[in-house]
Amino acid sequence: MTQRQIAVIGLGNIGGGVAANLVKAGEQVTVVDLDAAKVDALAQLGATTASDPLEAVAEAHVVFTSLPGPKHIAAVGLGDGDEPGILSAMNPGAIWVELSTNDLDTARSLYGPAADAGIGIIDAPVSGGPEGAQAGTLSVYVGGETDNVEKVRELLHIIGDKVDHLGPNGAGIVAKIAQVTLCYTQTITLIEALLLGVKGGVQPTTMLDLIQNSAGRSYVSESYGPEILAGTYDASFPISHAAKDMRLAMSMATSVGADLPFMARVAELYEQTEARYGAAAPHLLAAQMLEDQNDLVLHEYPSNDTATKTATNTATNTETKSET
């Protein structure tokens, strides 16, 4: 594989793993992030460090960005106020691989300036989480011109084990947002299924085990179910990211003319969760919103026969009241 100069801007849950795998593959990688500790960790692996994005991209043949959201992508690419963006500092012929979850309007605002500067741009949002980024097993949803994609395909296979070129610019963004909504909608239905079972008298751990061994089995039930029952709510991913993804999904639904009422309700619940607990709160606190509505906190539910009898009696009393 031909070695080239690579810049990675943003060393968070995804970018840090991406940069590490590129370094381990023998690539010459320059990294930059606001968090000095993350930069230092990559430097210890062999990466070169830069003081800012413009310095990082000055000699780069390929630039990877992994950023929190659309406004950050636009600021890094086009500049913010008096600060110029990386499109003004990249060399003609370089390729910008944008790994973040973006919206179509922001992405489209980059294509013209990139073309004017002679820079290829590829939408390559990813799925697989921090563990996938660390292991180099991300799914990469690629949108862009074929020539540009082929120039970086080897690099994409370093960071991911499933790389799909889905069409022109924008196709990767649409695919990423559409598929990620399933994670959030399944999370809400998992919580409701657990609440229904437990309020009907089934122990929480038993109910989760039944779900995990049924047609409802999923990544969500396997990974998030235990977090919900433990009351830890998965602190590795903040509610702000989940709410942002759902906002992007609803914006895209409006853009393409899709009527998605259930997804809209899930998006509303995540917005409410973020407003209640704060942007940095664990994303699975959406469960606690539903637990509060049902007066039943799953991780506090006593695991004994008395609890089962109490839940059964509650269900019976509810039936009796309904009948009268």
Tell me the CATH number at 11. Answer: 3.40.50.720
Residues 213, 224: Cα–Cα separation, whole Å: 15
In a domain, 252, yes or no: yes
Contact assessment for residue 219 and residue 226, using Cβ atoms and an 8 Å cutoff: no
Q: Is the predicted pLDDT of residue 315 greater than 50, yes or no?
A: no
DSSP-derived 3-state class of residue 93? coil
Phi-psi region of 211 (alpha: psi -120 to 50; beta: other; left: phi over 0): alpha
Instruction: Provide the domain limits for residue 256.
Output: 175-314
Amino acid at 43: A
Q: Are residues 157 and 205 in the same domain?
A: no
Q: Are residues 32 and 119 in the same domain?
A: yes
Q: Are residues 81 and 185 in the same domain?
A: no
Pairing of strands 5-9, 28-32: parallel
In a domain, 87, yes or no: yes
In a domain, 125, yes or no: yes
Q: Are residues 239 and 310 in the same domain?
A: yes
Average pLDDT, the chain: 91
Q: Are residues 305 and 222 in the same domain?
A: yes
Q: Are residues 163 and 180 in the same domain?
A: no
Q: Are residues 187 and 128 in the same domain?
A: no
In a domain, 98, yes or no: yes
Average pLDDT over residues 49-62: 96
CB atoms within 10 A of CB 84: 13
Count of alpha carbons within 13 Å of 293, Cβ hemisphere only? 13
Catalytically annotated residues: 176
Number of domains in the chain: 2
Average pLDDT over residues 34-43: 96
Residue 267 sits in a domain of what CATH number? 1.10.1040.10
Q: Is the predicted pLDDT of residue 3 greater than 60, yes or no?
A: yes
Residues 111, 143: Cα–Cα separation, whole Å: 12
Q: Are residues 62 and 163 in the same domain?
A: yes
In a domain, 136, yes or no: yes
Residues 221, 207: Cα–Cα separation, whole Å: 11
Q: Is the predicted pLDDT of residue 323 greater than 90, yes or no?
A: no
DSSP string covering 114-152, please? Answer: HHHTT-EEEE--EESHHHHHHHT-EEEEEES-HHHHHHH
Q: Is the predicted pLDDT of residue 308 greater than 50, yes or no?
A: no
Statement: the pTM of the whole predicted model exceeds 0.95: no
* Domain-terminating residue out of 148, 168, 188: 168
pLDDT tens for each residue of 162-199: 999 999 999 999 999 999 999 999 999 999 999 999 99
Cα–chain center distance at 164: 18
Average pLDDT over residues 62-91: 94
